[in-house]
């Protein structure tokens, strides 16, 4: 677990660089080490979410149920791909209302995905005795505060894991966005989405990769509403993309984390984004210079002016 001081401040520690950034994930600790652990939410370790911890953090033992409060960061791999890294700011006993449900744990997995021997549920769907003893339903002030945040997200998430097992809330500035067309893999169609890089830092390589899933015919219209530099907020979930080896589907060729959401929203000044960062002005000047260059070269029509973004910190659903 984290220090008492960290626990006391975790509820108010919802911002990174004055921008909303808080994640609540519940599941079971697997393969803990000094650097972090896997958080298992389904009956497949291949789909467990890796959580990084700060040096000296005491991690609960193997198969302990936990709720982890995290900050999300973007990171560029050596191959240039942007992925999500989750860093724990608190680890606590979960509420039964925040844990994954049995129906999903034992649901069918994709072909070739190995199941795990660990089984936390009884045949009737309730937690096994030792697991149940590690669940905290006392509704302490900390847990109650978390549950209030999670309850507010109902109807906005893919709830197949349970209403509260995996929730991310973020705000920042659009660093880039593009439509990724539908593809076919393993005989199945992979749905089209908008790939967005959400920036919260001066270093653009730390932008958080987000996938916005909507009806294909709506994607182009959504994309036009989120020019580079525009402030947005979102509620979504951490998702792990597992890519099997083409020659042996039981082997994993690659896996990485990203954030998945159904929609993006605008922000309210002083709420989701406390204040515009100093580097936003640099970003705006870069965008304007790039637009001017495109106009001069007449390669394509200019993008919508970014001037409106400086005063765009108002309620607006995209």
pLDDT tens sequence across 87-140: 999 999 888 888 888 887 877 566 556 677 888 888 888 888 878 778 877 666
Rounded distance between C-alpha atoms, residue 56 and residue 71, angstroms: 18
**Quick one: pLDDT at residue 9?**
44
Q: What is the DSSP string of 228-243?
A: TT-EEEEEEEEEEEEE
Give strand pairing partners of 26: 67
Q: Which residues of 180-191 are buried (b: 16+ CB within 10 A; e: fewer)?
A: eeeeeeeeeeee
d(CA 184, CA 195): 18
**Quick check: pTM over 0.85?**
no
4-311 fold: OB fold (Dihydrolipoamide Acetyltransferase, E2P) (2.40.50)
Q: What is the pLDDT of residues 31-44, one digit of tens each?
A: 999 999 999 998 88
- 178: which 2 tokens? 């593009």
The whole-angstrom separation of Cα 53 and Cα 60 is 12
Q: Is the separation of the CB atoms in 82 and 89 below 8 Å?
A: no
**CA nearest 280: which of 173, 152, 180?**
173
Q: Mean of the pLDDT values across residues 75-85?
A: 93
3-state SS class at 44: coil
Give the chain's mean pLDDT: 81
Q: Which phi and psi (to 5°) does residue 143 adopt?
A: -65, -40
Binned at pLDDT 50, 70 and 90, residue 316 comes out as very low
Question: Tell me, what DSSP letter sits at residue 259?
Answer: E
Per-residue pLDDT of 259-283, as tens digits, reads: 999 999 999 989 999 998 989 888 8
Beta carbons within 8 Å of 44's beta carbon, 6+ residues apart: 109, 113, 114, 115, 116
Determine what percent of the chain is predicted with pLDDT higher than 90: 47
Helix segments in 20-78, DSSP class H = none
d(CA 84, CA 74): 5
- E-strand spans in the chain? 15-16, 19-30, 36-40, 49-52, 65-76, 82-92, 166-180, 183-185, 188-190, 193-199, 208-212, 231-244, 252-261
pLDDT digits (tens, 9 = 90+) for 224-257: 999 999 999 999 999 988 877 666 666 677 789 9
């Amino acid at each position: 677990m984290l220090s008492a001081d960290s626990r006391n401040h975790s509820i108010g520690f919802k911002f990174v660089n004055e921008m909303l950034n808080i994640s609540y994930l519940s599941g079971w600790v697997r393969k803990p080490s000094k650097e972090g652990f896997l958080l298992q939410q389904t009956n497949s370790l291949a789909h467990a979410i890796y959580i990084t911890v700060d040096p000296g953090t005491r991690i609960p033992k193997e198969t302990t149920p936990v709720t982890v409060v995290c900050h999300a960061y973007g990171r560029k791999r050596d191959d240039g791909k942007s992925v999500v890294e989750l860093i724990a700011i608190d680890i606590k006993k979960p509420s039964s209302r925040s844990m994954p449900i049995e129906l999903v744990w034992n649901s069918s997995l994709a072909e070739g995905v190995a199941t795990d021997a660990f089984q936390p549920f009884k045949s009737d769907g309730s937690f096994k005795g030792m697991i149940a003893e590690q669940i905290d339903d006392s509704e302490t002030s900390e847990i109650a505060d978390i549950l209030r945040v999670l309850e507010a997200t109902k109807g906005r998430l893919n709830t197949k894991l349970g209403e509260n097992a995996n929730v991310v809330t973020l705000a920042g500035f659009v660093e880039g966005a593009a439509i990724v067309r539908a593809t076919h893999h393993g005989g199945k169609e992979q749905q089209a989405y908008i790939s967005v890089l959400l920036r919260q830092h001066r270093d653009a390589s730390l932008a958080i990769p987000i996938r916005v899933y909507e009806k294909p015919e709506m994607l182009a219209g959504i994309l036009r509403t989120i020019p580079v530099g525009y402030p947005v907020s979102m509620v979504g979930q951490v998702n792990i993309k597992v890519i099997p080896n083409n020659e042996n589907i039981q082997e994993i060729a690659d896996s990485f984390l990203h954030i998945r959401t159904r929609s993006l929203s605008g922000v309210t000044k002083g709420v989701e984004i406390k204040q515009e960062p100093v580097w936003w002005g640099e970003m705006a000047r870069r965008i304007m210079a790039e637009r001017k260059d495109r106009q001069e070269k007449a390669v394509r029509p200019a993008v919508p002016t970014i001037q409106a973004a400086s005063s765009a910190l108002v309620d607006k659903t995209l």
